[in-house]
Structure 1
Amino acid sequence: MSLHIVSSANTRQNSSILADMIYFFLHPKIHILVMVVGGLMVVGIFKIYMPALSKLSWLVNISGFYLFGFSIILLIHKRRFPPVLVWPLILFAYGIVTALINGMGTLAILFDLKRSFSAWGLFLAAYVIHFSSSDIERIKKFVYLLVFFQLPFCLHQYIVLVPLRETVEMAGEINLTPVDIIVGTFGGKMFGGGANGTLAVFLIIALSMLLSLKNTQIKSAKYIFLLALIVLPLFLGETRIVVVYLMVMFVVVYGKDIIQNPSKFFINTILMFLLIGSLVYLFFLTKPANMNVTTQGHFANFVAKNFGDLSSKDRELNRTTVLIFWASEQRHFSWANTLLGHGIGATSTEKTGDGLAAEAAGSLSKRYPNYGIDYTSASIILWELGIVGVLLFIGWFSSVWILIKRIEYTAPASILYQINGLKVGTIIFLINMFAKSSFHHTISHQVLFAAFMSYPIILRYRSRDL
């Protein structure tokens, strides 16, 4: 009898442990943690230093789709769809419909949903899940931690990895830019590209918030320490679009105040122009030591590669001509393709491997091999989703901007620095789509974008009871 009682007790205990484990793994905040910490720190570090473990990025994708499904169920149940979520949901459905209309296979569609949309569950979850004040404080602490980690990793990448890549480049084994590996925790390939643009976006958003803090909100020593952590990685890399991001940040953070009280912000203005001028000199007017060209030739080469007819060794198009090429090629397609696009994944250049990856190679990438039609996210959207897709993205970013402005009108002065960060981020994420393809191809960028889009939703709706 006693053995039976003990056995029953053990069974109940095991069942309770199993139930707790199931609850733990199904809890949405656990998946948010996996996405944010995994996508912004762990996966990127593994990708560079332990590439054999880089497939762990699939855990981030799985958590993203879990949050997407979880959030959709709650949204349907509550019948609440704020405009800031309506636009991305329409885009998601529209992407699938255009792929089906263009005859894409199921496997290819699944692969490209993973490629482009797997992080979107994060900002949907931000609306349906309640976030307490302590959750907000944890978010702030994580941002501080993420800022802190960038400089040590960037220093190691600059001192150790860049020379290794320079050796490979000079040997003529691989065509690469050595400093592109300065990516902090955001990931890259040892002998390929890196998410240096994503690092720049994150650092500029962080810098805009830091510069917006009042003297009463942060001690001088801590301010200088954080300023060094943010600014130094910008000088280590060679992400030239940082100059544009800084100009945007300057206008958003100081523009209104300078017009109203120019003398008060004179020193800030001078310091900002010194920072921008230093980066311009470093990025545009200082030629690499191994380049047999004049400084003027180096700058002219940069202009031609981005705004002229010159392209890289591995593609025919650059950031400007890739858009011109889309417009010129529309005469070969129907008006429906111009308006609606060719379906998600049509520009995918993923050709290596077997099975899913092989099936996912896009029809347009086969039609235009080595052209680089997927060089920027703006080009990808035009080819895959057409003019309608572009209009949907414009609607989405506009709704985010309107939401941020509404928050600004009612927000306490203590969080106005966050509002400036949100405004700067919205603009530079949009600019980034014309400079990089990270929005579609880089998991760390996708998670950063989704996390960024989540925060105004949390600020606006976190106190309601769903």
Structure 2
Amino acid sequence: MYKNNFSYKISMPSEWGGQKVLLYFIVLVSVLMAMLLGLIAVTGNPIIISIAVAFVASAVLLIRVDWIVWLILSLGLLVTGLLPLFFDYFASKAAWGVSLLGFSLMLIALVKIVMTPDARRNTPAFVWIALVFIAYALINSLVQWHSFGETVGGFKRYFQVWGLIFALCWVAFDKQQIRYWRLLFLFVALVQLPFAIYERVIYVPIREGLKNSYPGMVPIDVVSGTFGATLTGGGASGEMAIFLVIILAFLLARQKEKVLSSNKFLLLTPIIIAPLLLTEVKAVIVMIPLMFLVLYRNEMLIQFHRWLIGFVAISTFVVVAGYAYLFAMSQDKEKSMTEYIEQTLEHNLYDKGHFGGNSLNRTTVLPFWLEKQGLHDPASFVFGNGLGSSHLVAGGHMAMRYFGYGIGLTAASTLLWDVGLLGIGLFFVILILAWRCAAQLRRESAIAEVRADAAAIQTALVLFVFYLFYRLGMLEILSFQIPFAALLGYLAWLHCEHTCAITNK
């Protein structure tokens, strides 16, 4: 007994010594962090302060990864887009905070697969290609280094929320958590209507009074729900529109699989569609029929008469809504409806530059890129010129070389200028493999909810391809990048769940 007591007394100093070292280490780190944060605070620079706060918050949230996802989704979809209208000064700072949370999430997911090999066992192919695309874009930009701001800014804009893809695939989230996040996306879709009404009633008249002072400003562009707009600039109305069409595709797919009741579908659908009637997004006349064609492509072959009735109904709605919009736009204006249609076609499909003073439009921006390629610079054709090189606002060197052309008008043209043919090829491979993954789920899953969501995801992927040639937001607008990354991450989660279920049978 005495011997045991003696051993205990001998071991105590050793344990206490280890605890003292740990205590000293914690105190030292705390003092250094306090000094660092104090120095950051006295700079008075909101960007540096917000980055420091986001860094500390990310460190605290490491133990609750689901909280990081909640913050990214809620702040990115409901807050950062509205700040430019109400608190413009804080808008970019808040977006930086969400971006840092996104990169923290990516780091957590990557550490997870390094430390836990089992986590990567059922990873779908498109997730690996997404990781390859990030590595390629980063290495390519470092090799073609032009400036710190261009490269780092470009990397941040491209991949600020891609951590959602990897986290939803590699971090173990239960079904209830995923269900809550699905409901959050539905909630975001539903609140677009009140915000769109408010923007239409309050801000459009204000912008009408300012438009002579800001050439190129379209007053109705401010109607973008929570997706982002500024008082004197543009708005993310196109991003809001395609998001709502994607949510509509999910509702239709679930109603088709009898997962969603007809009463709930009829209640939700008008609220989802209504904001589209308050905006001036002309591309809706392409988005809605395209969504319908992809979602009901099988019915077109099996039950053609029912498909035809539905397609005629959708087309009629689109035509009537488009006519009503054009009629409203032509009232009290110098242009007639015919002239307005001709102007729209000239600036989007013919040879006139896009609205805003650029020489290129959505049709001519890709031929212009091809025209500037040649044997004098084959690296640009294959590898591009580095992330951020075509971004005008950030002063990208290629954007400055072709100033006034608008070479970064669309996501497709931006990818070609930044990462070349190889980079855009990898991006399309991600989408193609994601389509195949969703198709596999539709074939093999016995769960109607999974089949419905897989069909809706396929529809969304086609809409994303359309968007690549329509606007730039997929590579820079945070509120639209979140649905894109979350949708791919959700598909990866569905694939992992399905594969595990088959393996455990």
Q: Quick check: TM above 0.5?
A: yes
2:249–2:456 contact (8 Å) kept in structure 1? yes
1:104 alignment partner in structure 2: 146
Specify whether residues 32 and 309 from structure 1 end up closer, same or farther in structure 2 by C-alpha distance, changes over 3 A only. Answer: same
1:154–1:183 contact (8 Å) kept in structure 2? yes
- Cα deviations across residues 171-227 of structure 1 (Å, max 9, x unaligned)? 343421111111111111121111111111111111112223149544444322211
Structure 1 position 266, deviation (Å)? 5.4
Whether 1:381 aligns to 2:415 is yes
Structure 1 position 101, deviation (Å)? 2.1
Structure 2: distance between partners of 1:330 and 1:145: 46
2:101 alignment partner in structure 1: 63
Residue of structure 1 aligned with 2:226, choices 180, 185, 194: 185
Structure 1 position 308, deviation (Å)? 1.0
Task: Write the mapping of 1:118-267 to structure 2, written as runs, cut at 5 A.
Answer: 118-169=160-211, 171-212=212-253, 213-214=255-256, 216-265=258-307, 267=309
Task: Write the mapping of 1:200-349 to structure 2, written as runs, cut at 5 A.
Answer: 200-212=241-253, 213-214=255-256, 216-265=258-307, 267-283=309-325, 287-311=329-353, 312-331=355-374, 333-349=376-392
CA RMSD of aligned residues (A): 2.5
1:179–1:237 contact (8 Å) kept in structure 2? yes
Task: Write the mapping of 1:38-49 to structure 2, written as runs, cut at 5 A.
Answer: 38-49=75-86
Structure 1 position 136, deviation (Å)? 2.4
- Cα deviations across residues 316-348 of structure 1 (Å, max 9, x unaligned)? 111111111111111384111111111111112
Residue of structure 1 aligned with 2:479, choices 432, 435, 444: 444
2:428 alignment partner in structure 1: 394
SS in structure 2 at match of 1:331: coil
1:34–1:59 contact (8 Å) kept in structure 2? no
Structure 1: distance between partners of 2:220 and 2:423: 34
Structure 1 position 458, deviation (Å)? 1.3
Structure 1 position 276, deviation (Å)? 1.9
Moved more, 74-83 or 88-97: 74-83
1:73 alignment partner in structure 2: 111
1:377–1:440 contact (8 Å) kept in structure 2? yes
1:71–1:124 contact (8 Å) kept in structure 2? yes
Structure 1 position 267, deviation (Å)? 4.5
2:405 alignment partner in structure 1: 371
- Cα deviations across residues 18-70 of structure 1 (Å, max 9, x unaligned)? 9x996545422111111111111111122222222212111210111001111
Specify whether residues 280 and 460 from structure 1 end up closer, same or farther in structure 2 by C-alpha distance, changes over 3 A only. Answer: same
2:69 alignment partner in structure 1: 32
Gaps of 5+ in 1: 1-11, 352-360
2:150–2:389 contact (8 Å) kept in structure 1? no
Which one-letter code corresponds to 1:86 in the other structure? Answer: W
Structure 2: distance between partners of 1:416 and 1:164: 46
Structure 1: distance between partners of 2:62 and 2:113: 21
SS in structure 1 at match of 2:470: coil
1:88–1:396 contact (8 Å) kept in structure 2? yes
Structure 2: distance between partners of 1:60 and 1:22: 14
What TM-score comes out, normalization by structure 2 length?
Answer: 0.82
Which one-letter code corresponds to 2:230 in the other structure? Answer: K
Whether 1:407 aligns to 2:441 is yes
Structure 2: distance between partners of 1:365 and 1:265: 46
Which one-letter code corresponds to 2:236 in the other structure? Answer: A
1:153–1:185 contact (8 Å) kept in structure 2? yes
SS in structure 2 at match of 1:43: coil
Structure 2: distance between partners of 1:21 and 1:280: 46
Specify whether residues 83 and 218 from structure 1 end up closer, same or farther in structure 2 by C-alpha distance, changes over 3 A only. Answer: closer
Structure showing greater radius of gyration is 2
Moved more, 289-298 or 365-374: 289-298
Structure 1 position 278, deviation (Å)? 1.9
Structure 1 position 370, deviation (Å)? 1.6
Structure 1: distance between partners of 2:485 and 2:58: 27
Aligned residues: 440
The higher-RCO structure (CA 8 Å, 6+ apart) is: 1
Specify whether residues 458 and 379 from structure 1 end up closer, same or farther in structure 2 by C-alpha distance, changes over 3 A only. Answer: same
Structure 1: distance between partners of 2:63 and 2:381: 42
Structure 1 position 313, deviation (Å)? 4.0
Specify whether residues 73 and 282 from structure 1 end up closer, same or farther in structure 2 by C-alpha distance, changes over 3 A only. Answer: same
2:126–2:429 contact (8 Å) kept in structure 1? no
2:11 alignment partner in structure 1: none
Structure 2: distance between partners of 1:288 and 1:172: 22
Moved more, 372-381 or 47-56: 47-56
2:466 alignment partner in structure 1: 431
Structure 1: distance between partners of 2:209 and 2:288: 32
Structure 1 position 262, deviation (Å)? 3.4
Structure 1 position 103, deviation (Å)? 2.6
Structure 1 position 137, deviation (Å)? 1.9
Structure 1: distance between partners of 2:258 and 2:148: 56
1:45–1:186 contact (8 Å) kept in structure 2? yes
2:330–2:337 contact (8 Å) kept in structure 1? no
Which one-letter code corresponds to 1:110 in the other structure? Answer: V
Specify whether residues 280 and 331 from structure 1 end up closer, same or farther in structure 2 by C-alpha distance, changes over 3 A only. Answer: same
1:286–1:295 contact (8 Å) kept in structure 2? no
Specify whether residues 132 and 424 from structure 1 end up closer, same or farther in structure 2 by C-alpha distance, changes over 3 A only. Answer: same
Structure 1: distance between partners of 2:361 and 2:325: 18
Which one-letter code corresponds to 1:40 in the other structure? Answer: L
Moved more, 394-403 or 324-333: 324-333
Structure 2: distance between partners of 1:42 and 1:313: 27
2:37 alignment partner in structure 1: none
Gaps of 5+ in 2: 1-22, 31-56
2:441–2:450 contact (8 Å) kept in structure 1? no
